[in-house]
Homo-oligomer: A and B are copies of this chain.
Amino acid sequence: MLSARKSPKRRATRRRDSERTRERLLQAASREIYRSGFQSASLDTILTVAGVTKGALYYHFDSKEALGHAVVDEVIAPDVRGKWVRPLQSGKDPIDALIGAVQRIPVRPADVRGGCQLNNLAQEMSPLDAGFRKRLAIIFDAWREAVASVLREGQTHGSVRRDVEPADAAGLLIAIIEGYASLAKNAQDPKVMKAGIRNIVGWLRSLRPPGNRKRG
């Protein structure tokens, strides 16, 4: 049957179109939330950026809140996984891996001025919406656990000082990163972030055992 070969293909195309519309909405929402915060991001603006209409939006998402939650789950979470969780599982020297991840933090003016997407949303929405808070907390926990895990592993191989408390150090690293990102965003100045990264790298090197310093 000719239609039997054609129908599934059409259906698949249709579904792929729908998924692409959904994806464009997520990307546009992510961008607008990044620009002006969740509450101030206008649905109409998101729709214009995405190039779709309100009917499409409310077909894919129940509400603005649901769209925001989806952005956290499907845009922000994978981003953190790709930049912090996976690179730390590479098996390289733990401190080198951490330094590498820190140095890969984008310092282009546009990125610095916008701040950290994860932190932005957490600061705005965690006190106001439990749905956001729980999703964002999961991301922060995964990030901290990935850092703590690689530090623990380093301790067993002798490449990280034994007197370092992995969980504490992981929390401190994330606090410093977010703190510098905040200061740099406030100053609207990439230099602040670059200086911060240098300080962070210096601190990370101090986590090596005294006899095992690779550089500096």
Chain A residues within 8 Å of B, Cβ to Cβ: 35-37, 39-40, 113-115, 119-120, 122-124, 126-128, 133, 136-137, 140, 168, 171-172, 174-180, 182-183, 185-188, 192, 195-196, 199
A123 contacts which of B40, B177, B185 (Cβ < 8 Å)? B185
Cβ contacts under 8 Å, A123 to chain B? 115, 119-120, 123, 182, 185-186
Contact (A140, B183) CB under 8 Å given A128-B36, A133-B188, A188-B126: yes
Q: Are A185 and B126 interface neighbours, CB within 8 A?
A: yes
10 contacts between A and B (CB under 8 A): A122-B182, A126-B185, A127-B185, A136-B186, A171-B183, A172-B196, A174-B183, A175-B182, A176-B176, A179-B179
Cβ contacts under 8 Å, A171 to chain B? 183, 192, 195-196, 199
Q: Are A188 and B127 interface neighbours, CB within 8 A?
A: yes
Q: Are B40 and A168 interface neighbours, CB within 8 A?
A: no
Docked complex Cα distance between A179 and B115 (Å): 13
A178 contacts which of B124, B128, B182 (Cβ < 8 Å)? B182
Docked complex Cα distance between A122 and B186 (Å): 5
Cβ contacts under 8 Å, A172 to chain B? 176, 196, 199
Docked complex Cα distance between A128 and B196 (Å): 23
Cβ contacts under 8 Å, A114 to chain B? 127
Q: Are B195 and A119 interface neighbours, CB within 8 A?
A: no
Q: Are A183 and B188 interface neighbours, CB within 8 A?
A: no
Docked complex Cα distance between A183 and B178 (Å): 8
Docked complex Cα distance between A21 and B86 (Å): 56
Shortest Cβ distance from A6 into chain B, in angstroms?
51
